[in-house]
A and B are shown apart, each in its own frame.
Chain A
Amino acid sequence: MDFDLSEEQRLLKESVDGLLADAYDFDARKKYMKEKGGWSKALWGKLAEQGLLGLPFAETDGGFGAGAVETMIVMEALGRSLVVEPYLATVVVAGGFLRHGGSAEQKARYIPGIIDGSKTFGFAQLEKNSRYDLFDVVTTAKKKGDGWVIDGEKFVVLNGENADTLIVTARTKGGQRDKSGIGVFLVPADAKGVTKKGYPTQDGLHAADITFTNVEVGADAAIGDPDNGLPLIERVADEARIALCAEAVGAMDESLKETVEYIKTRKQFGVAIGSFQSLQHRAADMFVALEQARSMSMFATMASDFTDAKERSSAVAAAKVQVGKSLKFVGQQSIQLHGGIGMTMEAKIGHYFKRLTMIENTLGDTDYHLRRVSEGGGLLA
């Protein structure tokens, strides 16, 4: 049992923290958000240069063969700096699909573009009525010749507006909520029949609602078994949740730091408001919430290597519950302790709150995951 980082992991952390300290203060972030597409290609290039975009890929695929802990380190750092670039959508999610389900040809075709920073991805999964159930899919993929024809509507596809390639879940068989008959498809974002309506999100990212009308793709578009893609989707979604937990921990950590710094310096009644016990205890409770979330983020990170999918899912869901509860408390109280200034767009603290809030509602909120663990027989069973 060991919670310390290895020497290599420590160096990775130093390097990513260093990069973001130099290149990603709050003003830089505002600048990046104004660039075309809403994020910085130059910064993305720097992430590529430092090898961060290639971390999880096998060395044979041109990557570094890093594991879940390395992703945790990076995501935590991205959370600290409120990074808006599409790391989750591209490296974690698309990378995950390719690593766990991609054929040799698919890997050779797509992974180099991720690693060198030239290509980004979007995960088109959410539907009008699917909410958080990954198996609830009405978008269809019908066989045509060797290939497929995709029809349907997907919503809030992160980085959907800018992505070069979309990874689309679509039903090849069965009814809306059948667990089998779901496939995963690689669709070029500029394919005929793909229409995108892009927009900024509450937390400063960009997403798109995307309609697929008679979109034809080849046989090589399917990742894994087109009739039984759910286990792959669940695995990648779990990895994305794990990454989100780490990102949330980074954002909470920074949020608490900013808040503590603020109440140490803000004076009222002639003294720093941090000298008031009601505020001190609130901050202490924020620390408790953060540490509990950090513990579960580590637990989930370890769980990503569990071979038993049920055990893995239950651990990840539990982490998402704890992180969801913690982020709500830390996020809300950060605003409260800042007082009026916390309500302004100008102050950084509100942006942490907004990102944290959106993380809770990504890939299953607290209640959703609590129900999952509960229906699965609990965590001690």
Chain B
Amino acid sequence: MDLAFTKEEIAFREEVREFFKNNVPPETRRKLQEGRHLSKDEMVTWWRILNKKGWGVTHWPKEYGGTGWSTVQHYIFNEELQSYPAPQPLAFGVSMVGPVIYTFGNEEQKKKYLPRIANVDDWWCQGFSEPGSGSDLASLKTKAERRGDKWIINGQKTWTTLAQHADMIFCLCRTDPAAKKQMGISFIVFSMKSKGVTVRPIQTIDGGHEVNEVFFDDVEVPYENLIGEENKGWDYAKFLLGNERTGIARVGVSKERLRRIRALASKVESGGRPVIEDPAFREKLTACEIELKALELTQLRVVADEGKHGKGKPNPASSVLKIKGSEIQQTTTELLMEIIGPFAAPYDEHGDAGSNESMDWTAQIAPSYFNNRKVSIYGGSNEIQRNIISKAVLGL
């Protein structure tokens, strides 16, 4: 047992840090630190910088542009990326549809899509959830009917993150209505510019526009846009959801936020002294730091385990990562709320666009608190994670 990084790993961390320092646009960093939303341009600009460096799709196989890094190197990279902070790669392309395509797609599909995913020439979004299918995803109803060399797609997806920016969607569609729930689903990709696709914004409680409803009305899609085999989509979806395991704890994000909390709490006064000197506040902050340290170690255990024994079987501890990671993220936003207290109230109607920054750093704290309630809901709600632990780990 040895928790120290090797010399090579420490050198690698320095290299990564140095690269971020010299290459993340300062404005992008500042906005992330303040919990603001980035414009599409700001995100794509950064991702292309990363891709040019060869770090756009780090965990992909080398032949498709991956780095061949060890699991520890991936861990270090993500940790540094999150805590710098810099925008993380667009998960829908890089972590979700990309691996499905290089694992189950044909050669033509790989050639056609993978380089464009890596360079974010196409912005991808995810067509999984539906109004009636949340945690019970396999009950989805969106239909794809085969007509000659085309699919005709009808139905509705929801919670589609950043669909307003998207060029492409990967979609779970029911292709065999007679088959049992999980069996008749196919994985189909298509252009968001197709005729019959309508995107409607959903405004979330923070006032922001991250998610959308997407409607399909007789959308015509070439048959060749099917990934893998017909009616095997559920397998690919499970593969996809199981892929992004350790990043989900977002330890780096919480670390960065805790540092910011400490800095702000030293500046903001309450009762004639900085908030940080209030023992009750400080102990809450410390308790959160300790939880995060424990989570970081739990994450490292998963990473080390995957490094040694391969990624074959999902480590059940990854459900711990999701539960604790989301709880800690939420606690950090609560602590920020405590720091600003009554000054949380003013609401900047234009805050989400990131264009109106007339208000100071306090503007995004309440919205970010409201917005972060999502983290225990998405990616398999924490209740679903508890189901997973009780079944897969405890055998209940």
Docked complex Cα distance between A374 and B285 (Å): 8
Chain A residues bordering chain B, tally (CB within 8 A): 44
The A240-298 residues at the B interface (CB cut-off 8 A) are 256, 260, 263-264, 274-275, 277, 279-281, 283-285, 287-288, 291-296, 298
Chain A contact residues, CB within 8 Å of chain B: 1-6, 9, 69, 256, 260, 263-264, 274-275, 277, 279-281, 283-285, 287-288, 291-296, 298-299, 301-302, 318, 321-322, 370-371, 373-374, 378-381
Known pairs A292-B324, A374-B282; A380 contacts B289 (CB<8 A): yes
Instruction: Give chain B nearest CB distance to A42 CB in angstroms.
Output: 32
**Which DSSP category, helix, strand, loop or mixed, fits chain A's interface?**
helix
**Which DSSP category, helix, strand, loop or mixed, fits chain B's interface?**
helix
Instruction: Give chain A nearest CB distance to B22 CB in angstroms.
Output: 24
What is the chain A residue whose CB lies nearest that of B281? Answer: A374
Flag if A371 contacts B262 (CB, 8 Å). no
B320 touches which one: A2, A5, A69, A292 (CB < 8 A)?
Answer: A292
Flag if A2 contacts B304 (CB, 8 Å). yes
A284 touches which one: B5, B259, B301, B389 (CB < 8 A)?
Answer: B389
Q: Residue B1 at the A interface, CB < 8 A?
A: yes
Instruction: Give chain A nearest CB distance to B318 CB in angstroms.
Output: 11
The B303-347 residues at the A interface (CB cut-off 8 A) are 303-305, 308, 317, 319-320, 323-324
Chain B contact residues, CB within 8 Å of chain A: 1-6, 9, 72, 255, 258-259, 262, 279, 282-283, 285-287, 289-295, 297-298, 300-301, 303-305, 308, 317, 319-320, 323-324, 383, 385-387, 389-391, 393-396
A1 touches which one: B285, B295, B304 (CB < 8 A)?
Answer: B304
Known pairs A281-B383, A373-B286, A380-B258; A287 contacts B393 (CB<8 A): yes
Docked complex Cα distance between A277 and B282 (Å): 36
Q: What A residues does B387 contact at CB under 8 A?
A: 277, 280-281, 284
B386 touches which one: A1, A281, A291, A322 (CB < 8 A)?
Answer: A281
Docked complex Cα distance between A302 and B396 (Å): 34
Docked complex Cα distance between A6 and B298 (Å): 20
What is the chain A residue whose CB lies nearest that of B390? Answer: A280
Docked complex Cα distance between A288 and B1 (Å): 22
Q: What A residues does B6 contact at CB under 8 A?
A: 1
Q: What A residues does B295 contact at CB under 8 A?
A: 292, 295
Flag if B396 contacts A280 (CB, 8 Å). yes
Flag if A288 contacts B286 (CB, 8 Å). no
Known pairs A1-B2, A281-B386, A322-B290; A275 contacts B396 (CB<8 A): yes
Known pairs A283-B390, A299-B3, A374-B282; A288 contacts B290 (CB<8 A): no
A298 touches which one: B1, B259, B262, B303 (CB < 8 A)?
Answer: B1
Flag if B3 contacts A284 (CB, 8 Å). no
8 A-B pairs with the lowest CB-CB distances in the bound complex, closest first: A295-B297, A280-B390, A284-B386, A284-B389, A374-B286, A379-B289, A292-B294, A281-B386
